[in-house]
Amino acid sequence: MNDPQLKNVIEAALLACGRSLSVTELAELFEESARPDKDEIRAALETLGEEYASRGIELKETATGFRVQVRRELAPEISRLWPERPPRYSRALLETLALIAYRQPITRGEIEQVRGVAVNPNIVKTLLERGWIRIVGQRDVPGRPELLGTTREFLDYFGLKSLQELPPLAELKAMGDINLQLDLSGVPTPAQESAYLPEADSEEEEQASDDSQGAPGLVASHVDPQD
């Protein structure tokens, strides 16, 4: 198979799929007798990335593979395709998310200790249902509370290849219209790549379990205001 054809098949697959595809998945698109090796596929992906450099889309590597997405700087214009008001995350959800992402694995009690309020189970339930967090184990203390962490789906949603790409805490605190009141100083970015998301505290935050603000980057083949 010549290089242009290989590149075209990969590009078409990424646009049609609407999600990240791994190198292995891309290789399986081809007949076994003509299947390119991983180096050839990565070379084709690199060429595509270079070709997109001056265009409105970009090739993004995430935790589960590669995807084609709309560039972040174009999101405001593209989002007008969906006239509905984009949902937003509550402060409680963002604070809990920050704690799980930066301190995982973490228990609900530990989240409550830092935030100073009870964790609303409805937010945790919602995040579990979305596949952004998961139970990664149990703390070896009386009661054996569940440990929460983020998932690969969480990384994909926020366009991250690994937890090492999480933004600096100072940048996180500046996100949106909220001011996170958390003591995360000295907390190293976790090396694990499995876990979920957080919850909230009062009845008012219960409503926010369905509220979400768009993540950076939009998948080109299925551009969604929340993606």
* Domain ranges, ordered by start, for the chain: 3-81, 91-216
Phi/psi-derived region of residue 20, left when phi > 0, alpha when psi is between -120 and 50, beta in every other case: beta
pLDDT value of position 225: 35
140 vs 138: CA distance, rounded Å: 6
pLDDT value of position 71: 93
Would you state the CATH architecture of domain 3-81? Orthogonal Bundle (1.10)
- Does the pTM exceed 0.95? no
* Helix-then-strand count for the chain, H and E: 10, 6
pLDDT value of position 212: 39
Range 183-218 burial, b when 16+ CB lie within 10 A, else e = ebeeeeebeebbbbbbbbbeeebbebbeebbbbebb
pLDDT value of position 214: 39
213 vs 25: CA distance, rounded Å: 30
Q: What is the pLDDT along the chain (227 residues), one digit of tens a residue?
A: 678 899 999 999 999 998 999 999 999 999 998 899 999 999 999 999 999 999 999 999 999 999 999 998 998 899 888 877 666 778 888 888 888 999 999 999 999 998 899 989 888 888 888 898 999 999 999 999 999 999 999 999 888 999 998 887 666 655 544 344 454 444 444 433 333 333 333 333 433 343 434 343 334 444 433 33
Both structure tokens of 171: 């940048």
Q: Which residue has the tokens 């990240």?
A: 20
Q: What CATH code would you report for 91-216?
A: 1.10.10.10
pLDDT value of position 77: 92
